[in-house]
Amino acid sequence: MQVSELKHAKLKTWVEEAVALMTPDAVEVCDGSKAEYDRMIQLNLDAGLATKLNEEKLPGCYLFRSDPSDVARVEARTYIAAKSKDDAGPTNNWVDPAELKKTMSDLYRGSMKGRTMYVIPFSMGPVGSGIAKIGVQITDSPYVVINMHIMARVGTKVLDVLGSDGFFVPCYHSVGKPLGPGEKDNGKWPCAPLDKKYISHFPESREIWSYGSGYGGNALLGKKCLALRIASVLARDEGWLAEHMLILKITNPQGESKFVTGAFPSACGKTNLAMLIPTLPGWKVETVGDDIAWMKFGKDGRLYAINPEAGFFGVAPGTNNESNRNAMETIKSNTIYTNVALTKDKNVWWEGIGYDAPGELIDWNGNPWVQDKGNKEQKPAAHPNSRFTGPAKQCPAIAKEWQDPAGVPISAFLFGGRRPKTIPLVNQAKSWIHGVFMGSIVGSEVTAAALDVKAGTIRRDPFAMLPFCGYHMGDYFKHWVNIGATHDESKLPKIFFVNWFRKDDAGKFIWPGYGENSRVLAWIFDRCDGKGKSVDTPIGILPTPDAIERPAGVSESDMAEILKVDIEGWKAEIADVRANHYPKFGGKLPQELNAELDAIEKRLNG
């Protein structure tokens, strides 16, 4: 399709303005077809940016290596350009929107010379769903086009739903590497230097402007940029929730099913939980989504969730058949790998894949690499943030409802973090407001590997949304408080806090995790119906020590330890929240959360 054929007047004008500013050599409106995907792959192969992998072992899979300066989200270059700095809040980087647009317009001017501009209409969520939203991304990266094909629903079908006057989020993207006459990429990943990278969000005008990076969430603008930072603002204004949450379906041995969402900071096993294989006989867990949940209220007063994404953009290192067999099965075909290592027979390898490196590899920088287990200083073959982009429909555990446009009814919210002490294995909130309090203090203990923070301190990541909330976090807490105040609490999801990461005095994990977490999910399932053995405590509703069937290797005393209320530990937790966490949000911290803090402290002292 040509730009002149676009039926949406505002969209057509916006694209024409972008063409005038960025001056590409050609413009294509993406149709979302398999032929288009294959053509984009070929363009990347011809440019020396892609390597075709072993067709017998990994059919339809390709490997990319990015520039060493372009390997992850760049938090320091990510901006929430609200009109007022106060609206962006203390946890976001703010620049005046008029100033930022001027700076970026200067960078965009001529940025696509020598390249093709691709216009990608995409739907976050099933096309036509009442919970879905439409975005249109302009990009000069064929790599972005193929990844967006996997991660979202793209093409003509989206334009059909958009019609001539529908709402869309406009998304500018350029790698910031114009080409001179006859110049080609010649195998060098195109991007701009770090100080020229910008990932900018304009919440009032619902716009995303990204420049200089071709990697991950910086460039696949449907992901964190639209699905969380802009969607969180839309959700606040429209009365729904856009959350950094997995969605899973649990079915008990009697065939009853419930849907649960969960928010966890990075490195807390979120994707593993979304694709969990239960060890508990008769129980079944299926995947609806592994990263983001959009939830709106149905006519029955319950929250219904969709996974706005169509694929998984997962971290490769540490993913193996024990930690996540379903993910390993998902990415055996039609998958894009970025910054993993390449074997001699054109297979992939990464640290934590479950077996030693098979001979000499090519590392993520394109250099020969041989594993040396005796060398603790050896640099990894795969970048620690190396990724796979795989289609969700290929997941063996994908739930049949995952593309239901009406969404799935949510029975429980889980929050969690890595906490070796104090926080019990599972804790149910006494009320909605208590649950919001629990979500607001989510955190993980910092290890000695984090040089900028003292080991043993807690790095808070409220609702696992700290890098992704598009407005003031105090106002975000208030939005959650308001959801409870304006809806029937009996129909709202029950709220739980889980912690798979308790350690004994020798530093060994007490709970085995992975598939054994199904035992905790079974208790949560029952608690949603008011069943399951429980005890009321100062910090919430805990299982009795015999309420959860113990896995092998976990003793009665172990269960008692990870399900007890550590009064002194909790007093220290409350003191840390009061002194170091809540003051960050100033006058915008909801008084309801301060009241909850006081109430828990009173119960602990009781």
Looking at the annotation, which residues are catalytic?
268
Render the burial of 429-448: b for 16+ CB within 10 Å, e for the rest: bbebbbbbbbbbbbbbbbee
Render the burial of 303-334: b for 16+ CB within 10 Å, e for the rest: bbbbbbbbbbbbbbbbbbeebbbbbbbbbeeb
Distance between CA 432 and CA 489 in Å, rounded? 7
Render the burial of 73-104: b for 16+ CB within 10 Å, e for the rest: bbeebbbbbbeeebbbbebbebbebeebbebb
SS (H, E, C) 293-325: EEEEECCCCCEEEECCCCEEEEECCCCCHHHHH
Write the CB contacts of 75 (distance below 8 Å, at least 6 apart in sequence): 93, 467
Distance between CA 575 and CA 594 in Å, rounded? 12
Contact present, 317 and 271 (Cβ < 8 Å): no
- In single-letter form, the type of residue at position 315 comes to V
For the chain, the helix, strand and coil percentages under 3-state DSSP, each to the nearest 5: 30, 20, 45
Q: What are the phi and psi torsion angles at 136 (to 5°)? A: -130, 120
Q: Residue for token digits 């041995």?
A: 253
Q: Return the closest-CA partner of residue 194 out of 179, 209, 176, 168.
A: 176
Structure tokens at 242: 């856009």
Contact present, 209 and 78 (Cβ < 8 Å): no
